[in-house]
């Protein structure tokens, strides 16, 4: 049964911490089912609000094999006692592929799809809108502003206005890693008739806390409006997931009360430093997916940091930068939490 658009939108708008689920591979680049399920158990134990599977962190190349993609989606959809997450499927490709993938995700019980431009032969604003409309007939949709360094493209405010016009749009993830482009999305939403119906999710891994605590305001038609991200869908939250869920609640609570503490701002700075290591900023993000896997490998949850293709791999020196981050920021990376329960999740 197709999820109700309003109920999905309400859950997202209430505030969510959604990790982008990695893909666990063994030394021969085959799916490591034991580790894959352990990751999902880690997120369940962390009490995050949802998981996104089939997204960039899960590796876009997985979409080359719909059967393999189905299997990974199915594993992540397996019930975990005491945990009822929003399940978000990452969708890629042109309209026919995207609709086919959305249909599989719907069959497996997913609640919404995140629309990525990866794999599209014709990438224009109009083709993106046409694809979103077609996929929206299958599942509620989440718009996605993906940074150009990992396959995104520049989009106008007019594009976002047109996407928000579509009734199936329940949220938008801003991840251009650019304040000007993020502002384009937020301003378009703020001035739209559905401004209070569509959830704003941060995907800016370099500005997570800032997005959660910073309001954008305007007077529209004589009414004062305010838009702020109350949650996020992030590759960064694939690691340190328990800390992420707690920090999201804490930051949003402080922002709601109008009193953001110095300790919260300090955590924002620490997270940016962690992200620089994990996402390989010095290597222009070349090792961002492998970097997420490497954190989990060093913590013992994954056997390798390997990706489906050799193009995605750690940059020189990145392994040590990640080790240093784990040593310096153990609380933000769940070091003790993972060490204490890792064997249970892998059992």
CA gap 170, 173 in Å, rounded: 10
Helix (H) or strand (E) segment spanning residue 89: strand 86-91
Average pLDDT over residues 102-130: 96
CA gap 114, 56 in Å, rounded: 10
Q: Which of 57-71, 141-155, 287-301, 316-330 has the lowest mean pLDDT?
A: 141-155
Q: Strand, helix or coil at 73?
A: helix
Instruction: Answer whether residue 150 shows pLDDT above 80.
Output: no
Reported confidence tier of residue 149, pLDDT bands at 50, 70, 90: confident
Nearest to 176 by CA among 148, 218, 215: 148
- For the chain, domain boundaries: 5-346
- The reported pLDDT for the residue numbered 1 is 61
CA gap 194, 211 in Å, rounded: 20
Q: What does the H/E/C string look like for 161-172?
A: HHHHHCCCEEEE
- The reported pLDDT for the residue numbered 77 is 97
Alpha-carbon distance values, 17 to 85, 127, 225, 343 (Å): 10, 30, 24, 24
Instruction: Answer whether residue 169 shows pLDDT above 70.
Output: yes
Whether domain 5-346 has CATH 3.40.50.300: no
Average pLDDT over residues 78-87: 95
Average pLDDT, the chain: 96
Reported confidence tier of residue 314, pLDDT bands at 50, 70, 90: very high
Average pLDDT over residues 127-150: 94
Cα 247 from chain centroid (whole Å): 16
pTM of the predicted model as reported, rounded to 2 decimal places: 0.96
Instruction: Answer whether residue 3 shows pLDDT above 90.
Output: no
Residue pair 252/261 in contact by the 8 Å Cβ criterion: no
- The reported pLDDT for the residue numbered 98 is 98
Q: Strand, helix or coil at 325?
A: helix
Rounded to the nearest 10°, the torsion over CA 46, 50, 55, 61 is 70
Instruction: Answer whether residue 82 shows pLDDT above 70.
Output: yes
Q: pLDDT tens-digit profile of 257-289?
A: 999 999 999 999 999 999 999 999 999 999 999
The residues, any chain, with a CB within 8 Å of residue 147's CB and separated by 6 or more, are 175, 176, 177, 178, 285
Average pLDDT over residues 116-129: 94
């Amino acid at each position: 049964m197709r999820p109700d658009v309003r109920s999905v939108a309400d859950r997202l708008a209430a505030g969510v911490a959604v990790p982008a689920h990695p893909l666990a591979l063994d030394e021969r680049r085959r799916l490591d089912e034991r580790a894959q399920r352990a990751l999902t158990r880690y997120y369940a134990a962390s009490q995050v609000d949802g998981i996104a599977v089939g997204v960039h962190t899960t590796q876009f190349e997985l979409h080359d094999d719909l059967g393999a993609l189905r299997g990974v989606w199915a594993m992540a959809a397996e019930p975990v006692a005491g945990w009822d997450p929003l399940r978000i499927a990452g969708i890629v490709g042109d309209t026919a592929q995207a609709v086919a993938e959305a249909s599989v995700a719907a069959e497996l019980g997913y609640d919404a799809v995140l629309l990525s431009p990866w794999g599209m032969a014709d990438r224009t604003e109009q083709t993106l809108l046409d694809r979103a409309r077609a996929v929206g007939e299958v599942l509620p949709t989440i718009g996605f502003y993906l940074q150009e360094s990992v396959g995104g493209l520049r989009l106008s405010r007019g594009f976002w206005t047109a996407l928000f016009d579509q009734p199936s749009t329940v949220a938008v993830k801003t991840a251009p890693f650019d304040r000007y482009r993020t502002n384009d999305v937020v301003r378009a939403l703020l001035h739209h008739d559905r401004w209070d119906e569509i959830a704003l999710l941060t995907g800016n891994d370099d500005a997570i806390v800032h997005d959660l605590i910073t309001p954008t305001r305007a007077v529209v038609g004589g009414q004062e409006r305010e838009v702020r991200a109350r949650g996020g869908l992030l590759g960064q939250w694939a690691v340190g997931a328990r800390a992420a869920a707690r920090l999201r609640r804490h930051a949003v609570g402080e922002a709601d009360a109008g009193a953001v503490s110095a300790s919260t701002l300090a955590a924002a700075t620490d997270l940016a430093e962690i992200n620089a290591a994990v996402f390989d900023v010095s290597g222009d993000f070349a090792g961002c997916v492998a970097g997420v896997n490497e954190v989990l490998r060093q913590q013992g949850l994954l056997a390798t940091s390997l990706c489906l293709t050799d193009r995605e791999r750690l940059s020189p020196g990145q392994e040590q930068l990640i080790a240093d981050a784990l040593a310096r920021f153990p609380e933000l990376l769940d070091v003790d939490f993972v060490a204490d329960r890792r064997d249970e999740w892998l059992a």
